[in-house]
Amino acid sequence: MTRDMAFFEFLCRMGDNTLVLGHRVSEWCGHAPVLEEDIALANTALDLIGQTQMWLGLAGEVEGEGRSADDLAMLRDAWDFRNVLLAEQPNGDFGQTMMRQYLFDQAHVLLLQKLAGSSDERVAGIAAKAVKEVAYHVERSRDTVIGLGDGTSESHRRMQAALDLLWPYAGEMFTDDEVSGIMAGEGIAPEPSSLRAAWDAAVQETMSEATLVIPDSDFAHAGGKTGFRHSEHLGHMLTQMQWLQRAYPGARW
């Protein structure tokens, strides 16, 4: 694999994570438990989609085949996406959504902090902008997980169920492969595994405050960020997300 091929794959991973999760979060618009949460979730989705525009825009430049961020978002099929499986999991109830958000946010902020010092100025610039937004995301999702976990018996039960369900998807965020090895060698991005210890420590502290028990398992689903295997949920999501562009190719506002 060449350096440019690996760079393109890395940028797609970054952009696809924020695109897929951003769309998932946007599905709460008009359906959240209270107005404040509706607005907060909508803003989180907008932040993530804005980051997608930057990551996939740069991916298109690096690829050099004339594809824009919109093309990469709306004209690829499920097997071409490189997001982690965690991001595409269904929203479930509000607690499940916030647990998914926290597990992702905590890894996301650690990665962006490292990327802000990337050897590639374009990557560093995107990361420096995005990390300001994600620092708020992780603060909010962490506080919500703690509040619900250490809340009523019902909210505690739901949050523990959400943690049990989503934990097996978290490990994929920290797996290394040829792409990450090339990026680390070039000084563009760290190996994902190098972030695991800090993530584990932060998550352990959060779950302790939330009175939640982290599952005693190292098993991790994989295949999302390599495109080898996605869950059926991504395909269903894309039929909604890409419908307008597929039905009316080239449509513009």
177 three-class SS: coil
| Domain containing residue 182 | 3-214+222-247
Residue 184 lies in a domain: yes
pTM of the model: 0.97
Q: Which of 43, 22, 172, 151 is nearest to 97 (CA)?
A: 22
Q: What single-letter amino acid sits at 245?
A: Q
pLDDT at 130: 98
**Domain count along the chain:** 1
Residue 252 lies in a domain: no
Residue 3 vs residues 7, 33, 180, 196, 247: alpha-carbon distances, Å: 6, 46, 11, 25, 36
Q: Tell me the C-alpha distance between 159 and 167, whole Å.
A: 12
The tokens describing 142, both together, are 């962490």
Block means of pLDDT (10 residues each) for the chain, 253 residues, are 97 98 97 91 98 98 97 96 98 98 98 98 98 98 98 98 98 98 98 98 98 96 96 96 92 79
Q: Where is 85: in which H helix or E strand?
A: helix 85-88
Those residues with Cβ within 8 angstroms of residue 43's Cβ, 6 or more apart along the chain or in another chain: none
The tokens describing 16, both together, are 């696809």
pLDDT at 250: 85
Residue 106 lies in a domain: yes
Residue 119 lies in a domain: yes
Other beta carbons less than 10 A from residue 208's beta carbon: 14
Q: Tell me the C-alpha distance between 141 and 77, whole Å.
A: 30
Residue 253 lies in a domain: no
Question: Contact, 134 vs 55, CB < 8 A?
Answer: no
Q: Which of 88, 84, 53, 115 is nearest to 224 (CA)?
A: 84
Q: Tell me the C-alpha distance between 145 and 212, whole Å.
A: 9
CATH number at residue 105: 1.20.1260.10
Q: Which of 211, 65, 233, 223 is nearest to 147 (CA)?
A: 211
Residue 125 lies in a domain: yes
Residue 148 lies in a domain: yes
Q: How many residues does the chain have?
A: 253
DSSP code for 171: G
Q: Which of 227, 248, 242, 11 is nearest to 118 (CA)?
A: 11
